[in-house]
Structure 1
Amino acid sequence: MLEKIIGVSVTNVHFNTKNLEPGGLFIPIKGEQSDGHSYIEDAINNGAIATLWNSKIAIPSHLSDRIKFIEVEDTLKSFQTIANSYRKEVNPIVIGITGSNGKTTTKEILAAALSSNYQIHKNSGNYNNHLGVPLTLLTMPENTELCIVEMGMNHQGEISELTKIAEPDFAIITNIGESHIGHLGSRENIAKAKMEIIEGLTYKENILFDGDESLLSILNGYPIKDIHIKDLKQQENKITFNYLENNYVLPTFGLHNAKNSAFAIKLGEILSVDNEKIRQGLHKFRNANMRLEYKEKETNSFLLDCYNSSLTSLKSALNTFESIHTPKHKVAILGDIFELGNESISTHKEIGKITTMYSDFEFWFVGKGMSEAFAIAKDSNTAKYFNNTEALCDFVKKHSVSMQSKYFLLKASRGMSLEKVYENFN
């Protein structure tokens, strides 16, 4: 099908030469730091047989017989246009997912829940931006029946661009939090940016959204509300809950994942998927790395939730941590939340106030922002403070032998690399 669009039969596509395989199509992208056109020889050496090429750049004469050059005005725009054309050729049911928190987890839950009924393709990792979304579409096997496309953003207008590339048949907005508030200025603006996803929908009512979020109340579609989720419990490494009079089990941590599951359950119902198959599919779910990921070392337990962080997701993580029944001493390690802009000091102070509500476990604060939280929490909890992740790692190296039979929660923004703390335990 791709040959029909670009005129060349290729077996794979990528904008990173390291990820190309023999028979591939190279997409050279001009970025802020480098220009992909400079890596054309690397692409050829890694097996590329064709490449998009900016028509304003001269084709290297010594390479003209080694690879097919497809000249275009803008390689990025052409990449996105080709992806949209290929999406139409394969013509699967496309589900677009956005939201401040829970996008990747909801994507994985949805894939598990519907796996018995469809050949499913989805974003790899967090390939959810202006490059990742078209790549997701172009790596879709021709027999794909349902494609799940996660869409991320930092600024207004970005979701609008992505949804027009993917043209989803259904869309999900998981929630509205504080992520990227430093760029967008307010939760109201974040909501507007997330709601751009409906611009690509053929039927604007085919949207599932957080029905408890007032900022989304203007939407017409399928609101998912907490009131319909009952008997919610965290039981060891799984959550159990009742949604719309049916019982479900999801093998993961995080009470908030019941609502993420409800999106998948409701969409399955809309698509006429048998409820028993949905229940069985949910049993297959495995959480992505560093998203409430459970690990053990010696006598210690760890809950790694350090892929990203926001005030909303931090509250959820603490509630989950509190709900876990264990004889081990609990320690919540909280690292800085990034991209808060002018809200950074007030948000980290708010975290300090929140931690005073938890008397059953100890808090360790890490990073410049968390110094604000520590200043408030230090008198109410058994608290420690570390300037950065490296300082905490040094502390762990020195004392890990004496720190046994503990249960650690690690929660921070990606840039804090808080998973290194786990790695430094013996």
Structure 2
Amino acid sequence: MRMTVGEIAAACGGKLLCGDPDTIITAVSTDSRKIEFGTLFVPIIGEKTDAHHFIGATFAAGAAAALTQEHDGMNDTHAWIRVQNTEQALQRIAAVYRQRFHIPFIGITGSVGKTTTKEMVALALSGSLNVMKTEGNFNSQIGLPLTMFRISDRHQAAVVEMGMSNFGEMSRLAQIAAPDYAVMTNIGISHIEQLKTQQNILNEKLHITDCFHKDSILFLNGDDALLAGLRGKPGIKILWFGTAPWCDFRAENIRTAASSTHFTLIAPGASFEVELPALGIHNVTNALAGLAVAKTLGVPLEKAIAKLAGYRPLAMRQQIHRVNEITVIDDSYNASPDAVRSSVDVLCSFHTGKRVAVLADMLELGDFSRQAHFDVGVYAAGAGVDAVVTVGERAREIISGVRSVRPDAACYACEDNEEAAAKLKAILTGGDIVLIKGSRAMKTDQIVKALL
């Protein structure tokens, strides 16, 4: 990035307390430990720490300017910009910076699969375009603005993940990223503790279209019941992807081989064979989103498909490891009921030995928590899981669900990850497959590390 201190102050409506307005800013950071020469430091007031305390240290490390909401006057050679709220100021600066670029912006949202879909959309587009994409899951009220500053003149498209967990958040993100196109993966019950109903979740996520223009397109998963209810919605152009026969981009003849999935892509006016090095129907859907966006933006489908053939799962997102003749499916990054069901399907696609599911608490489900955990257990039992190991108090309800279907099923309730790892080492034998999944706060990646 490249902005002057004066441009930054104007963008956020701030007051320059001291310093040279012509100072060039080449990076923005909210982390005082990640400062390079020419950085604008944005101190965020968190639940435990007020980062204003670190402004001096960032200047010593090379920062050229800082925002502040706690100082009304300052005498310094560095630039200090007074604002009402540093987080909101960060968002306003990012929104102004984004408007400098006249390239297609694609926003990705949904209850499950945002990050994987973002990766596949960016990969498919890279068949012809230089793409900037969100790093990791920098998709929040702070993460998205920081992502904006990574865009440069060399980029020909931007794919940005947009996550929300409460009312009003998606609208703010839309004002920052102003996506020309948007992909919605599904509507589940993640964050339903705050949003109360799935219809509220859908309504909030639809704010991703707040800055749409006459040529904008919303890409929707036709296999999701709530999204499919938007068929015929006036005022927005929609392209559909999925397995339903009416989808614009659909998958047929889906089959699995080893650690890859093959399917026939039916696109407007053409069909193609696709090999995707990932398992699960949900990943087929994610790939369809990528191919739909690529075709719409002028990338030849042959090139997009070739790029997807090189897809590799991100860390802790259905990564498959093999150790001591045991297959470990590391899906420990996060969990929701829909995501767990998809992962159970992947687990049950293996047939070499016992299929063991390690499932930890799913959080932020509010009043739906008990029933959601129970239903996951019912699903796992019906899908053919041979043994279930749970971690956490909430996850015990998964065992109740399993035993409501199969009273004699092998189930083990563990208090923590250490106990779960020990139990696995006792019950796993050569040829077995084990899935490990739980909400991020449960840190189930500790179990993966213990096994590997």
TM-score range, shorter chain: over 0.9
Say yes or no: does 1:356 pair with 2:361: no
Is contact 1:234-1:255 (8 Å) kept?
no
Task: Tell me which of 71, 95, 99 is aligned to 1:57.
Answer: 71
Say yes or no: does 1:178 pair with 2:189: yes
Q: Give unmatched runs, 5+ long, in structure 2.
A: 9-21, 245-249
Q: CA deviation at 1:189?
A: 1.0
Is contact 1:233-1:241 (8 Å) kept?
yes
Q: CA deviation at 1:131?
A: 0.4
Instruction: Indicate how the Cα distance of structure 1 residues 260 and 303 shifts in structure 2: closer, same or farther if over 3 A, else same.
Output: same
Say yes or no: does 1:385 pair with 2:385: no
Partner of 1:296: 322
Say yes or no: does 1:18 pair with 2:15: no
Partner of 2:450: 424
Q: CA deviation at 1:15?
A: 0.6
Task: Tell me which of 237, 240, 243 is aligned to 2:265.
Answer: 243
Q: CA deviation at 1:273?
A: 1.0
Q: Deviations over 1:345-394 (max 9, x none)?
A: 11111122212213352222222112112134242422222123232134
TM score, norm. by length of structure 1: 0.93
Instruction: Indicate how the Cα distance of structure 1 residues 235 and 395 shifts in structure 2: closer, same or farther if over 3 A, else same.
Output: same
The aligned runs of 1:192-341 (5 Å cut-off) are: 192-203=203-214, 206-216=217-227, 217-218=229-230, 219=233, 220=236, 221-227=238-244, 228-244=250-266, 245-325=271-351, 327-341=352-366
Q: CA deviation at 1:50?
A: 1.4
**CA distance in structure 2 between the partners assigned to 1:367 and 1:409 by the alignment:** 16
Is contact 2:25-2:64 (8 Å) kept?
yes
**CA distance in structure 2 between the partners assigned to 1:243 and 1:380 by the alignment:** 42
Q: CA deviation at 1:121?
A: 0.9
Partner of 2:3: 3
The aligned runs of 1:63-82 (5 Å cut-off) are: 64-65=76-77, 67-82=78-93
Aligned amino acid, residue 331 of structure 1: V
Q: Deviations over 1:185-238 (max 9, x none)?
A: 111111111111111222385100122334333344112232231111222121
Aligned amino acid, residue 240 of structure 2: P
Partner of 2:18: none
**CA distance in structure 1 between the partners assigned to 2:142 and 2:191 by the alignment:** 19
Say yes or no: does 1:46 pair with 2:81: no
Structure 1 range deviating more: 372-381 or 152-161: 372-381
SS in 2 for 1:80: helix
TM score, norm. by length of structure 2: 0.88
Instruction: Indicate how the Cα distance of structure 1 residues 255 and 338 shifts in structure 2: closer, same or farther if over 3 A, else same.
Output: same
**CA distance in structure 1 between the partners assigned to 2:150 and 2:385 by the alignment:** 48
Say yes or no: does 1:117 pair with 2:146: no
Q: CA deviation at 1:155?
A: 0.5
CA RMSD of superposed structures (Å) = 2.0
Structure 1 range deviating more: 205-214 or 14-23: 205-214
**CA distance in structure 2 between the partners assigned to 1:199 and 1:267 by the alignment:** 19
Q: Give unmatched runs, 5+ long, in structure 1.
A: none
SS in 2 for 1:77: helix
Q: CA deviation at 1:312?
A: 1.0
**CA distance in structure 2 between the partners assigned to 1:417 and 1:239 by the alignment:** 29
Is contact 1:233-1:255 (8 Å) kept?
no
SS in 2 for 1:368: coil
SS in 1 for 2:254: strand
Number of residue pairs matched?
A: 419
**CA distance in structure 2 between the partners assigned to 1:213 and 1:355 by the alignment:** 20
SS in 2 for 1:316: helix
Partner of 2:392: 367
Say yes or no: does 1:98 pair with 2:123: no
Instruction: Indicate how the Cα distance of structure 1 residues 395 and 374 shifts in structure 2: closer, same or farther if over 3 A, else same.
Output: same
Aligned amino acid, residue 387 of structure 1: E
Percent of aligned positions with the same letter in both sequences? Answer: 30
Say yes or no: does 1:191 pair with 2:202: yes
Aligned amino acid, residue 340 of structure 1: L
